[in-house]
Structure 1
Amino acid sequence: MADQDHSVVAMPHAYLTDNPLDPVLIRLRNTLEKRADNAIPTEVTRENYIDLIDGVVEYFHHFQAENGRIIDPFLHREYQYSTPTYALAAAVLVSSGKRPDLLTSARLALDSSLFQLASGTANDRHGDFFILPTMLAYRHLRDRVDAATRNRWDRYLGMLIPEFAYSDLIGDRQANVINWNTSAISGEFLRHKDGFTDLHFVDKYLDAQLPHFTPEGLYREPGSPLVYDTSARFNFSVLLEEGYTGKQRKALEVLLERGAWASLLMQSPSGDFPTGGRSAEHVWNDALNCASFELWARRSHAAGDEIAARAFKRAAHLAAQVVSRWVRPSGELWIVKNRFDPALRHGFEEYSSHSQYNLLAAAYMAMAWSMADDRISEGVSPADVGGFVVDLPEFHKVFANSGGHYLEIETAADPHYNGTGLLRVHRRGMDNQLGESDSPPSQGSSPAVGISWRSKGRWESLAEYSVGKVSARTFVIDASPEMVRFDERYQLKSASIESVTESYLLTPSSVTVTVQLKGQVDQWKVRFPAFAFDGREIGKIDLNRSGVAVHSASSIQRFELLGPGHPKLHQTSHIVSMRSGYYMLIEGEGRGKRTTYSLGAK
């Protein structure tokens, strides 16, 4: 990874500053306490985690080579860290008593993983991601194998040299590190704890990593992708759970608890991980959330904070429900939240594969199972009750929730992945494919939900004003579980107009958006991508003059263009491709500088 710029603006003392989310969290804890028993139980148990793991492992068991390595069924080779994540998932099935027959398979996978680490030959140079699942698998299996095998594993763990085993390292051509290194830190701490190394690597790289944190307790790397914030924080949380007492312990305790609460605020009422940016809408995101929330439920319970413990337990179960919705008939998971044949790679990143991301999800579910404390019962989570607006400026995201109706807004998009503006709309009980659940890249076009305008004969859209071309501010007017009102004001650079203000009125059943354009405007246009096909289900689109109703088998989403005047919606011939499927672009036009539209169930 040398010659890559991994730097972010350092915040070396973030843990000593006030948490900007404290005013929201103080009110929210009061709401959680008052409504402690209001949510419908998920009926998810720890054993559901085992069932999900079993489906993935059983599928990939058939793709294990004689030397223990897992071969991707589409790439026809071992890919990235599939083998060590398989080793952990299979080891937990053995340890749980569910699948004792998998002991030999788990042993072979672990043998291969340890050899690759010890010899500095980790597959695809992904040793950073090998060490944590490898150490956890070792703990499950070390007392279940013969003495010769255990001795060989111990020898491999003693031989491992981080500078040869890992890729994300500070050196002559690399001044900083990213999320890869957090996995190595976590695994190296376990290797230290089990007596195979000292703390030199952990101490060195924790010092380098702490300035990546914001005062909200969130982890940044270039592009600020949310999933790599959460994965990094989870890796650091494992250190706390395993008893880390070094000089960064106090900072980690403060920042990671803040970040855990921020994750609760970002979770959709359906349990989904927030979207946006790199690796978004991948099912392993939700498995990661499940493991992280189980860890924090345990830690909160141990600290005597039952409101938090029950909220985290609820959030873990909601995340597990998301994973279970994406089980394929063959037992493993769809990688991205659509139902296209995996061979088509619809919505995949260039680095996504059927093996590595299925088995990463299984490994996180294995960690969730290991950390789950059955003494903690579900309460309600922030996703259930809402009553807040959360602005995360370092991540260009705003989240709002009113009684289980939830918005995510992108205030300065990475154009490779999304457009600026309204990014997601989820409502409890709604089919999220009707969403919106995500938005398309704005690079080269802007078919996202939201406003466009024509000025001086040229069409522009808010969506196309990506990071570096726009700045945004959030103004909260009112926030309760019954109603949330706020304004999002965008200042545009090198645009034909000066600014765009979106005024949101969010209730448990609908969201109304009034858009005000400042500048010389000839005409405006509002766009709505209506769900058409996700690889299995076809959306039914009913269009009238000012509204459209989109039906799936289980729910309905309505979009209405409310004026001013009598604007007419029409269906274009433009098919929009998103991670979740294909969408038919609906448009409506009018004149003036102001318009209003709504989305909801009614």
Structure 2
Amino acid sequence: MDFRTYLDSLAKPDSFRPTGYGKEMYLDAMELSLNGYTRQELEAKCPKNGGLPDDIQAFSRLAALTGFLLANGRVPEYKELWLDMMDICSGSYRLIRDNHRNDFAVKEFMLAYKAAGHLAEEVRRSAWMEQLRLVDPWLNYDCRLRTGTDRRLHNINVYNMAGEWLRQTEGLTDTADYFRAHLPLQLSWFDSNGMYMDPGNPLMYDAMTRLQAAIMLHYGYAGPYAEVLDANLEKGGIISLFMQSAAFEAPFGGRSNQFLFADAVYAALFEYEASRYKRRGDLRTAGIFKRAARLAMASAERWLQAKPPRHMRNSYPPRSGYGTEAYAFYEKYMATLGTNAYLAFLFADDSIEEHPCPAETGGYCMQTSEHFHMIIVNCGGYSVQIDANANDKYDAAGLGRIHRAGFPTELALSTPFTSESGYALPDNVQRAMASISPGWNAGDGTVQFLSSLKQPIGYALEVLEESRERAVFRIIYTSPQLRGCEAVAEQYAVSADGVAIEAELIAPSVPEMYYQLPLFAWNGQEKGEITAASCGAQVAMGEFVYGVETSGELEVESRTIGNRNGLYRLALAASGQPAIGLKLRLKEPGSGGDDCR
């Protein structure tokens, strides 16, 4: 699709209402983020007798978050503790070798210094700067050039370059040689849409890496690579608008998925782009980005306002690690939400008037480059996200997300499942490759599912209809792994009436089709009440209802599987034909029960 033409066509209807969120919403999110820690916990993280923090990355983020709030009139009771934390940070960086956490940490300190350094006395500020002057990027960072084609130059190297540029703005270093060695290689990792290709191409580290580049440009980087870097940010900002779900959440895909900081990162990128377009005089596009930013941050409120606040989208005890990678523990990633919300605050311009954004207006089908292999369609208040060639360490191929504005996003599905151990689940929770996935008789009586296929999977998207009322598209999957057929086709129709899917086999050896359907059961606190008949099922989560209808015969299995959001029961729809249909709806409260009965 032509993104620019779509944005230029967006009108502001008479019924349009602004979100009502000012940039203070980011400070509120930051304060809720800090509330994830008691003062005693923060004090306990301060090493005694001149030692180094256990985790310099997490400690620096906590110091930065506290400083950002202090600079804006919040948490005044933390000032002395913050000063002590900054003392510890400033004296640590030059002492650390071969520890990638240091690569993240310097940037956090420098941002905190710029925001709140004026709260310290001059002698203390000078001492901090003298310590930071002693940082040597070739010694104190881990992710730096060691050989001419070192693959270690992934997102972490861009973090440390952001820190280096911030040091240069304070007269502490000259980045010319370091940037000359590293930035050309980093620029080679952007795809044609301006998305950053970190190893495995996780969508979160596309956005996070672009945000580090935005920090550099915001603080005046205008060196020989600035123009290309900025062009990638502009392209990446546009495609990110269209990846935001109908519930205003960041897309799933790969590692660090379903963490709340993702929405703060998207908000920051959108605020950055809003300011870009305002400077150009394009107030419509500026307003589109501003509204998308505020809605992104608002999508996290449900989890931030929990007690204690959550750092990811489930209600399990936050320090249980449910659904998280080993590096993504609460003490680090709760603060990560806050520090990224600060960047949204830093870039935000409340004078921009909001304009409707793509996530709420819909009427489009889009796909990323093949490197990210995502198909995202939004229409009629629904959005679907399909991973056509999933990284099975974290995800499964097939329909991995159905969102509708105003509904709990885990109710239908927000992210797929994996049988691999890419993230933590309790020992008693079963793992499985699963999505809303077609299956077929493999020719030997067993059922093969699209969700079970590993990379590479071939796929082709054909858009058949694309309007504000209805989006229709067809995907054909091919793979040498297919058994029992030559290809599998799915045709989707997305509208205000829900998501209809018709699947068929191409050249099957046995004319049998199936659908794998995860049904929400538990998110750590809230239960899904599942009722089923042969023609379909519904899941009630309080007043919200998810309904499934099928042209086949449905059976809900007894086993429960887990993903990052919680537990789901697997259902199987079966057809004795080489085709099968589904109708999936998120139903308004009070709209009635199971339609297929």
User: TM-score when scaled to structure 2?
Assistant: 0.91
The aligned counterpart of 2:239 is 262
SS for the counterpart of 1:433 is coil
Q: Does the alignment pair 1:24 with 2:24?
A: no
Q: What's the C-alpha RMSD, in Å, of the aligned pairs?
A: 2.0
Letter paired with 2:285: A
> Which one of 147, 158, 162 corresponds to residue 182 of structure 1?
158
> Which one of 81, 96, 104 corresponds to residue 57 of structure 2?
81
Q: Does the alignment pair 1:116 with 2:92?
A: yes
The aligned counterpart of 1:13 is none
Assess if the C-alpha contact under 8 Å between 1:509 and 1:601 holds in 2: no
Q: Which runs of 5+ in 2 are unaligned?
A: 421-430, 588-597
Q: Equivalences for 1:110-509 in 2 at 5 Å?
A: 110-120=86-96, 125-172=100-147, 175-176=150-151, 177-199=153-175, 200-327=177-304, 329-330=306-307, 333-392=309-368, 393-443=370-420, 445-454=432-441, 455-468=443-456, 470-496=457-483, 497-509=485-497
TM superposition shift of 1:167: 1.2
SS for the counterpart of 1:274 is coil
Change (3 A) 1:358 1:425: same
Assess if the C-alpha contact under 8 Å between 1:90 and 1:105 holds in 2: no
The aligned counterpart of 2:584 is 599
Post-superposition Cα deviations, 1:424-479, rounded to whole Å, max 9, x if no partner, equal: 111112221112111101558433212111122222111111212x1111111121
Assess if the C-alpha contact under 8 Å between 1:430 and 1:554 holds in 2: no
Change (3 A) 1:107 1:325: same
User: TM-score when scaled to structure 1?
Assistant: 0.90
Distance between the aligned counterparts of 1:208 and 1:327, measured in 2? 38
**380-389 vs 435-444, greater mean Cα deviation:** 435-444
Post-superposition Cα deviations, 1:258-280, rounded to whole Å, max 9, x if no partner, equal: 10011110001211110121111
Post-superposition Cα deviations, 1:32-82, rounded to whole Å, max 9, x if no partner, equal: 2x2366555332222222122122224423312367469xxxxxx844511
Letter paired with 2:40: H
Post-superposition Cα deviations, 1:4-38, rounded to whole Å, max 9, x if no partner, equal: xxxxxxxxxxxxxxxxxxx4213311332x23665
Assess if the C-alpha contact under 8 Å between 1:388 and 1:479 holds in 2: yes
Change (3 A) 1:465 1:66: closer
Assess if the C-alpha contact under 8 Å between 1:283 and 1:336 holds in 2: yes
TM superposition shift of 1:522: 4.5
TM superposition shift of 1:151: 1.5
The aligned counterpart of 2:575 is 590
TM superposition shift of 1:328: 5.2
Q: Equivalences for 1:535-550 in 2 at 5 Å?
A: 535-550=524-539
SS for the counterpart of 2:171 is coil
Change (3 A) 1:386 1:69: farther
Distance between the aligned counterparts of 2:411 and 2:201, measured in 1? 26
Change (3 A) 1:577 1:66: closer
Distance between the aligned counterparts of 2:2 and 2:578, measured in 1? 33
Distance between the aligned counterparts of 2:77 and 2:214, measured in 1? 32
TM superposition shift of 1:147: 2.4
Change (3 A) 1:396 1:38: farther
Assess if the C-alpha contact under 8 Å between 2:514 and 2:580 holds in 1: no
Letter paired with 1:198: D
TM superposition shift of 1:287: 1.4
Assess if the C-alpha contact under 8 Å between 1:224 and 1:395 holds in 2: yes
SS for the counterpart of 1:259 is helix
Distance between the aligned counterparts of 1:178 and 1:487, measured in 2? 35
**147-156 vs 77-86, greater mean Cα deviation:** 77-86
Distance between the aligned counterparts of 2:438 and 2:410, measured in 1? 21
> Which one of 567, 580, 594 corresponds to residue 565 of structure 2?
580
Distance between the aligned counterparts of 1:100 and 1:64, measured in 2? 15
TM superposition shift of 1:247: 1.3
Give the count of matched residue pairs: 566
SS for the counterpart of 1:582 is strand
Distance between the aligned counterparts of 2:45 and 2:438, measured in 1? 56
The aligned counterpart of 1:92 is 68
SS for the counterpart of 1:423 is strand
Q: Does the alignment pair 1:514 with 2:502?
A: yes
Structure 1 stretches of at least 4 aligned residues deviating more than 6 Å after TM superposition: none
Distance between the aligned counterparts of 1:226 and 1:261, measured in 2? 15
Post-superposition Cα deviations, 1:344-403, rounded to whole Å, max 9, x if no partner, equal: 321111211111000111101122222211111321111011121111121011111113
> Which one of 514, 522, 526 corresponds to residue 533 of structure 1?
522
Q: Which runs of 5+ in 1 are unaligned?
A: 1-22, 71-76
Assess if the C-alpha contact under 8 Å between 1:532 and 1:538 holds in 2: yes
Change (3 A) 1:506 1:58: closer
TM superposition shift of 1:336: 2.0
Change (3 A) 1:203 1:272: same
SS for the counterpart of 1:466 is coil
**132-141 vs 196-205, greater mean Cα deviation:** 196-205
TM superposition shift of 1:204: 2.3
The aligned counterpart of 2:541 is 552
Assess if the C-alpha contact under 8 Å between 2:3 and 2:239 holds in 1: no
Assess if the C-alpha contact under 8 Å between 2:453 and 2:481 holds in 1: no
